[in-house]
Structure 1
């Protein structure tokens, strides 16, 4: 291979890697919404949670022991749940439950699922959530009629 071809190959590789990195960074922490009709319904038993989900919404966080952004995400989600009536924060540690990572297609931690009152997945956030987007998505879920759980 000629020196010029080698230099062009390296420059091309750096350019492609840079573009992939910029796209990944732009998507990390963004809320991806899902439709109400085709949403998967999650129960506390599905994730091994001891308690129950929120009456109006649940912030379901998947984390691991060695995740650098998980403690800050835990504080953000926990604080939001504490100040919002009917909303619970549930943190699931995937360190010893890799089958849950596969089932919920968790490719990075933290990953957060926003569940409505029925437990349906309404939004997903890969990486540390962006607070403004998180709050806007939660407000949308809380203001959607018909999402409250039906009393038995």
Structure 2
């Protein structure tokens, strides 16, 4: 192998990996619009588990290291809102849900509106401020930013 090609490969490969990593990091934790309208029907949740204003549905697995802290974060956020509930579903026991909702990483969170339609989707650990802004919109709550 000639030196210029080796040098180009030595520079291009790490640069490409860094660019891919930065792109992935920028997409993780963001609230994105959900494309599924019939989420509640497919989840099989009991009516008592659904919030009257919104529901935070967290998809987890037994071996997910970030899922317990995400569950605590989402439960804390839900407790700050009247009519908002947090539900955690274990994909280890329900792999059909992973296929149905195209879950590629855990945790993944769906935010359901009062009617049970998915209004947002978050892949990875959610940004708490973004979740609160979305819930403020869904619940009609207004707050002074701190």
TM-score per shorter chain, which class?
A: 0.7 to 0.9
Match of 1:136 among 133, 138, 142: 133
Counterpart for residue 113 of structure 1: 110
RMSD of aligned alpha carbons: 1.8
Residue aligning to 2:144: none
Range that drifts further, 106-115 or 49-58: 49-58
Query: Displacement, 1:91?
Result: 0.4
Instruction: Give the gaps of 5 or more residues in structure 2.
Output: 142-146
Deviations 1:57-114 (A, max 9, x none): 0000001111111111100111111221111111000112222111101111100001
For 2:83 and 2:112, the matched residues in 1 are separated by 12
For residue 123 of structure 2, the aligned residue among 113, 121, 126 is: 126
Q: Which has the higher helix share?
A: 2
Q: Which residue of 1 aligns with 2:37?
A: 40
Q: What SS does structure 1 have at the residue aligned with 2:20?
A: helix
- What CA distance in whole angstroms lies between the structure 2 residues aligned with 1:99 and 1:119? 19
Distance 1:111 1:124 in 2: 7
Asked whether 1:81 is paired with 2:108, we answer no
State the SS of the aligned residue for 1:117.
coil
- The residue that corresponds to 1:148 in the other structure is none
- TM-score, structure 1 as length reference: 0.84
Scaled by the length of structure 2, what TM-score is found? 0.87
- Say if 2:37 is the partner of 1:7: no
Query: 5+ unaligned residues in a row in structure 1: which ranges?
Result: 145-152
Instruction: Provide the C-alpha distance between the structure 2 equivalents of 1:99 and 1:109, rounded to a whole number of angstroms.
Output: 15
Separation in 2, partners of 1:106, 1:42: 13
Aligned residue-pair number: 140
